[in-house]
């Protein structure tokens, strides 16, 4: 119940999307039998998956009312296209480090709605660490992207200095948590206020 209450508090803020993680090894996994109230959001919901079968994703999206799907594994353009052709909006995540080649995103142009650039880690599930945001200057694609990876309450001012024309939003997660899956509402509110000034 505490997660449902927290979701209601987050939803009351000036946020656009709410994310739900369906990857069992993650500390933020929604669980096998989550409280149904957790998904009763009036704002668009994002289902987050890692190497999940496209048809499993479609079933969950239909049952739980997801409009967006965020993919963090080795999904190929074909599976992304299947999801998108069923009316879902697809975000494809790419792990970022100094060796990342933005040409790797080219095959996903036109089959996903957004890219998500996140810090590269050995394990899926996030590290709470930032990558070098200056790398984004090398991205020249036509797909808008979300910035992710280690963003915390004090990063709003720096994010506002990023003038990339394809930056569509930021993905906020562990940097705003009281515990895995439970957000600090005051810190979120302060960050959002600062970001949107």
What is the domain-level CATH number for residue 175? 3.20.20.70
Check whether 129 has a pLDDT greater than 90. Answer: no
The packing angle between helices 185-195 and 2-11, to 10°, is 20
What average pLDDT score do residues 110-115 get?
97
Check whether 155 has a pLDDT greater than 70. Answer: yes
Helices (H) and strands (E) in the chain, counts: 5, 9
What average pLDDT score do residues 120-128 get?
71
Please count the structural domains in the chain.
1
Confidence (pTM)? 0.94
Return the structure tokens found at 65: 């009312």
What average pLDDT score do residues 84-113 get?
97
User: pLDDT, tens digit, for every residue of 36-72?
Assistant: 889 999 999 999 999 999 999 999 999 999 999 999 9
pLDDT at 121: 82
Continuous H helices in the chain: 2-11, 54-64, 77-85, 156-160, 185-195
Which region, left, alpha or beta, applies to residue 125 given φ > 0 means left and ψ of -120 to 50 means alpha?
A: left
Return the structure tokens found at 66: 């997801």
Least confident of 31-40, 67-76, 83-92, 174-183: 31-40
Domain interval for residue 95: 2-195
């Amino acid at each position: 119940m505490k997660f449902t209450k927290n979701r209601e508090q987050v939803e009351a803020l000036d946020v656009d999307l709410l994310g739900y993680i369906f990857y069992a090894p993650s500390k933020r996994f929604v669980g096998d039998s989550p409280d149904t109230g957790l998904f009763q959001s009036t704002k668009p919901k994002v289902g987050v998956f890692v190497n999940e079968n496209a048809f499993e994703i479609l079933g969950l999206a239909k049952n739980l009312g997801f409009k967006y799907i965020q993919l963090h594994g080795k999904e190929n353009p074909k599976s992304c296209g299947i999801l998108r052709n069923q009316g879902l909006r697809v975000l494809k995540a790419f792990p970022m480090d100094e060796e990342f080649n933005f040409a790797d995103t080219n095959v996903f142009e036109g089959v996903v709605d957004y890219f998500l650039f996140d810090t590269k880690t050995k394990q899926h599930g996030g590290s709470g660490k930032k990558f070098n945001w200056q790398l984004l200057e090398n991205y020249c694609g036509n797909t808008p992207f979300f910035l992710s990876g280690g963003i915390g309450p004090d990063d709003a001012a720096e994010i506002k200095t990023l003038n990339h024309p394809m930056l569509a939003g930021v993905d906020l997660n562990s940097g705003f948590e009281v515990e895995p899956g439970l957000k600090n509402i005051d810190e979120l509110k302060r960050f959002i206020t600062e970001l949107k000034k």
